[in-house]
Amino acid sequence: MIKIAVLGAGLVGRAMAIDLSKDYDVTSFDYNDQNLALLAEKEIKTVKKDLAEKGAVASLAADFDLFVGAVPGFMGFATVREVITAGKNIVDISFFPEDCFELDELAKSKSVTAIVDFGVAPGVPNLLAGHHSSTMKLDTYKCYVGGLPAERVYPFEYKAPFSPVDVIEEYTRPARYVENRKLIIKEALSEPELMYFEGVGTLEAFNTDGLRSIIKTIDAPNMIEKTLRYPGHIEIIKVLKAAGFFSEHERDFRGMKIVPREFISDLLYDAWKIKPKEEELTVMRIIFEGVENGENVKYTYDLLDKYNPETDTYSMARTTGYAATSAVNLVAKSLFTEKGINPPEYVGKKPDCVDFVFDYMLQRGIKYKKLREIL
């Protein structure tokens, strides 16, 4: 049986380990005892390990056939590099800020298949971008996505399924999008717009740096991704940002050295933490416009997924984790064998792989509604 190491046992890492354990020999690694205990209850093998230590991941390589990366973003690049250097295949959802293609030559030299950014977003929209760019002359790509609590609680009306460090990174890193083939760079949280989603209501969308690799890999004149939150969230985050809480510069405070971003991340961890069995949801709309078989067409994909009380699995863990485990299965079953760094859009160029991913998610109750319109 194929042996898989899942690196990280957080909200999404746990969902992936549980899903993969049905068909593979899975071991989960994390430094957090509580995270590991939750998996041990499911009779999944766990090992306490500080994955941030240099060489920690490489030391595991000999014992596993395939790796799954679910560590925080600031650890992601180094983690993927260690796995590749060891000559092992990996599917990663750490969404690290570095350019993934910096590892492409190394991966090819090691004959490694590395699939990166394969979650709900980045992930599924990129997969579809690769698919539609292969079947039509793509003019416009838009993606709107957000994870939200079902109950709106003042002031943030938000809960973080990921580490607050990664969310703050999303709120501070300059947002890139493409307009008339020109790369546009705007401040994160900028250019808000209100949008209505059935079953959720009105949400506000704002710029974040979500396009990632498709800026380089997809040929389309117009491409943008925006994050969704309940109306009012932007202003609260802007206040924290303006006050300096997101600064990475060390400050002297009463004889102590503190980094504001680290301090506020610690505070927000409690404020944004999802409570046990708390209902939350994932909402996403992906739009493609262009020319297909001589017709001006528009494809719209809508997703509304909610916390599953039967399996006690949060929506963001489901939608991100099961997208990633579908990719793990593509590699494990040798359905996708391309060597090097492979963002989801590369996988999307293979129709059989696209069908496999959506069938896999549908079997787990994740339903994307697809609409094709002639413009």
H helix or E strand, kind and range, residue 176: strand 175-179
Please, are residues 245 and 264 in contact by the beta-carbon 8 Å criterion? Answer: yes
Give the residue-averaged pLDDT of 231-244.
96
Q: What is the pLDDT of residues 79-130, one digit of tens each?
A: 999 999 999 999 999 999 899 999 999 999 999 999 999 999 999 999 999 9
Please, are residues 39 and 14 in contact by the beta-carbon 8 Å criterion? Answer: yes
Amino acid present at 284:
M
pLDDT surpassing 80 at residue 40: yes
Q: What is the rounded CA–CA span in Å between residue 339 and residue 124?
A: 20
- pLDDT score of 163: 74
Q: What is the rounded CA–CA span in Å between residue 87 and residue 60?
A: 12
- The hierarchical CATH code for the domain 3-119+315-367 is 3.40.50.720
Residue 228 three-state SS: strand
Q: In angstroms, how far is the first alpha carbon of the chain from the final one? A: 50
* Helices 11-20 and 33-40, axial angle in degrees (round to 10): 30
169 C-beta neighbours (distance < 10 Å), count: 23
Rg over CA atoms, the chain: 20
CA distances from 160 to 166, 168, 267 (A): 9, 10, 13
* Phi-psi map region of 332: left, alpha, beta (phi>0 left; psi -120 to 50 alpha): alpha
Q: Does domain 124-306 have CATH number 3.30.360.10?
A: yes
pTM of this structure: 0.93
In terms of DSSP bridges, do strands 25-30 and 45-48 run parallel, antiparallel, or are they unpaired? parallel
Q: What is the rounded CA–CA span in Å between residue 231 and residue 188?
A: 16
In terms of DSSP bridges, do strands 175-179 and 193-197 run parallel, antiparallel, or are they unpaired? unpaired
DSSP-derived letter for residue 318 is H
Average pLDDT, the chain: 95
pLDDT surpassing 80 at residue 162: no
Residue whose C-alpha is closest to residue 286's, from 121, 118, 158, 115: 121
Residue whose C-alpha is closest to residue 89's, from 67, 59, 106: 67
Residue whose C-alpha is closest to residue 77's, from 267, 341, 253: 341
Please, are residues 188 and 171 in contact by the beta-carbon 8 Å criterion? Answer: yes
- pLDDT score of 198: 94
DSSP-derived letter for residue 100 is G
> pLDDT over 90 for what percent of the chain?
91
Residue whose C-alpha is closest to residue 209's, from 181, 237, 190: 190
Domains of the chain by residue range? 3-119+315-367, 124-306
pLDDT surpassing 80 at residue 216: yes
